[in-house]
Amino acid sequence: MSALKLGVLVSGSGTNLQAIIDSIKSGKLRVSVEVVISSREDAFAIKRAKESGIEAVAICPEWFPSKAEYEEAMINKLREAKVELVVLAGFLKVLSPHFIRAFAGRIINIHPSLIPAFCGKGYYGLKVHKAVLEYGAKVTGATVHFADEGTDTGPIILQKAVEVRDDDTPEILSKRVLEVEHEILPEAIRLFAEKKLDVVGRRVFIKE
């Protein structure tokens, strides 16, 4: 059985990409990252990918006259690589329904909170953790979900909680949440690759 082909979309340092790469190298994850696409030319994730022998390209929105043409360039690159699952690993651009439909049921995203809390438009990066602390939440965490045509609204695959401590800052909290992200994103990819996910309405059932 051939390895599931991934396309990973990134915007920053690529620590979740590294978690995927490390899981592949350790044998925990039997998939192949065919291409990494960054929305920024200077993203460190590009270097991470290339150091592991993975094709990595920047496709930046500002290069295109419209969002539709920007997304079409990404769609074409992913299709050229015969990608079977698109992984949004710290990708900070909101994708249109057109992109989502091009890979319907085959896009997963990692978000640094326990959805449906602290998610949706404007909730990304440190803004999420700042909002958690300002609200006074006692528990936060990370979520892997299927991407749909909303923002952080698709069916949830995995979640893991992280305690919020009294002396937390957004930066300190983000590090602990990131550790959890690095656990559950590769695990969600494994479950997808092994065809162990059944989506029924909003619920995702994990088969033994």
111, 129, 145, 182: which one is catalytic? 111
d(CA 178, CA 188): 15
Q: Give the number of other CB atoms < 10 A from CB of residue 174.
A: 20
Task: List strand residue ranges (DSSP E) for the chain, in order.
Answer: 4-10, 31-38, 55-58, 85-88, 107-111, 139-146, 156-163, 197-200, 203-206
DSSP at 91: -
Contact 118, 150 (CB under 8 A): no
CA 87 to chain centre: 5
Whether 129 is catalytic? no
Q: Which residues are catalytic?
A: 111
